[in-house]
Amino acid sequence: MKSLTKLGAVLSFVLVSVSAFAQFDDRDIQQYRYRDFRGINQFEALGNDIAYDGFKVRLGGAFAVQMQALSHSTESTVDTLITIGNNFNLPTANLDVDVALADGMRMHLRTYLSSRHHPESWVKGGYIQISNLNWLSQDLLENVMDFTTIKIGMMEVNYGDYHFRRTDNARAIYNPFVGNLIMDAFNTEAGAEIYFTPGDFLVMIGATNGKLNQSVATNNNNTPVFLGKAGWDKQMNEDLRLRLTGSFYTTADGNTNYLYFGDRAGSRYYLVMEADGSNPTDQSRSGRWNPTFVNQVTSIMINPFVKYKGLEFFGAYETASGKLSAETETRTYTQIYGELVYRFGADEKFYAGARYNTVTGPQAFSTDDINISRFAVAAGWFMTPNVMMKAEYVNQTYSDFAATSIYNNGSFNGAVLEATISF
């Protein structure tokens, strides 16, 4: 704990030193999610709240670094856990390019400059988003495009609402906690999504090729992914906002589906529950769980969101079924997640929160359920709208694994400090 306190003081000093360089910028464009405090609780960035002001290139980015003080244990009869200590993780960085190409047409591109799984620069993906057709002809199909938006590209699939709150490599400013979900549905795939937003309602339908790594090599078993979302989002009054959505993602028989292990950035809990000899790059998803639905998957997620003044609740109920090609029967996992966050102080610069996350389901070629549970508490401070510091205590346990498994009665717990800048 002395090391944690000392390094935390150093981190605070660094943040205070750099906070003067982070500020709101006046380069906001159409259909754009703010990269600072204003982007919290912003979901799909649709519509035309910001007027088109000519061709504009907006460069932005994010930086994050953690100091980790976690310990882990197992009762495995075979495996030995790697020894981990208290220290800083590899800093991560994103580069964002957003371009107002024309009235109603925006391009987005994100590059991971440094990440856990790819220490080298790596393009996450990019897309074009169209909210009107004025670039073709003024007011063309205006009555339709008033509530229609089209996204096309190699992009983060819009399955569920949690991916709007999760940490995306260095972009950690929207996440009040440090880690993401245990069973983390996140992938970038080539495809298209069409949005219809009549009034307070949202309907999305989409299709992708289901591939994380793009290739023209053919495979007779390759089938497309279909996804969709329907929901309602309304600011009831000055104090109360309600949102409820349901999403699905399905592919009948894919060559390799990456929905639950497509995050190239990796997890925040470095080397927890990993065997002796592991390294952060190859074992990049420590603390998460992959249900191994590699060749077939159908997932449904329901997300409620309530914000009353400074108090907000976000939850997720997910059921996912799938299998490996060698399995004859599908398996089903259930994930439950809930977080309660209270924001306070001037402009809600401070917050404290608690979250609970559990995953239950059978491993490949088994009918016996395993269980993974995580409890976390966190607190954070927006030093400026672009600079945030947060601290999290996490405790994760593993139950009903085989005696030979590295997860047999396993657990990890401890604290993580994280500083992030986003602009």
* pTM for the structure as a whole: 0.90
Which of 65-74, 118-127, 159-168, 404-413 has the lowest average pLDDT?
118-127
Q: For 293-306, what is each residue's pLDDT tens digit? A: 999 999 999 999 99
Identify the pLDDT of residue 219.
62
Q: Quote the tokens at residue 311.
A: 């108090």
Q: Where are the beta strands (DSSP E) in 157-267?
A: 188-196, 201-208, 225-235, 240-251
Percentage of the chain lying above the pLDDT 90 cut? 79
**What DSSP designation does 17 have?**
H
Q: For 104-124, what is each residue's pLDDT tens digit? A: 999 999 999 999 988 788 899
Distances in whole angstroms, Cα of residue 297 to Cα of each of 82, 125, 154, 361, 372: 32, 23, 20, 14, 20
In order of their start, the domains of the chain are 2-26+64-89+173-422 (2.40.160)
Percentage of the chain lying above the pLDDT 70 cut? 92
- By C-alpha distance, which of 22, 7, 92, 36 is closest to 266? 92
